[in-house]
Structure 1
């Protein structure tokens, strides 16, 4: 990669960080462990629901394939879980890239 390409990429990253910070930061509260805890709990609950549904399905299958209704229920739980994980990952990326204001002390 050329020096000019490296410079462009550095400036691109700087511009991306600045624009994302200016757009996201005013719209979202300052983040702390206290206000992230409900989000983590929500994702964990969705994971629990998805896995519980799978285990219940297996326990009651008696060697038979699941019904269309059972698959539909499992799929709905997976979609919920996947969507929440994607959103949590997007938030994590925004934090890592300094797009958001954060409070680091554990005593909110």
Structure 2
């Protein structure tokens, strides 16, 4: 996202995913974009994993919308704004591919 600042990253994710919800797990340095059920069956990229049914994902309380200081607890980087208002797989895949391409440039 071009920044290490969580507030900047959250704003850019919200824009990229049209407000679709994203959970940040700072302990494992991961972001989880919530996508419709069944997305994993059509997910064909080795660049990022799409977790499948039966996978445990800790979901923060609805009011945890920012990092809690020095803790490593998950929070909503982009809170869910409406029922069924999920990220689209196409938006997530596009961002993953751009990010992967930029990471490859950093390594050269």
- Taking structure 1 as the reference length, what is the TM-score of the superposition? 0.28
Higher relative contact order (CA 8 A, sep 6+): 1
Q: Which has the larger radius of gyration?
A: 1
Higher strand share: 2
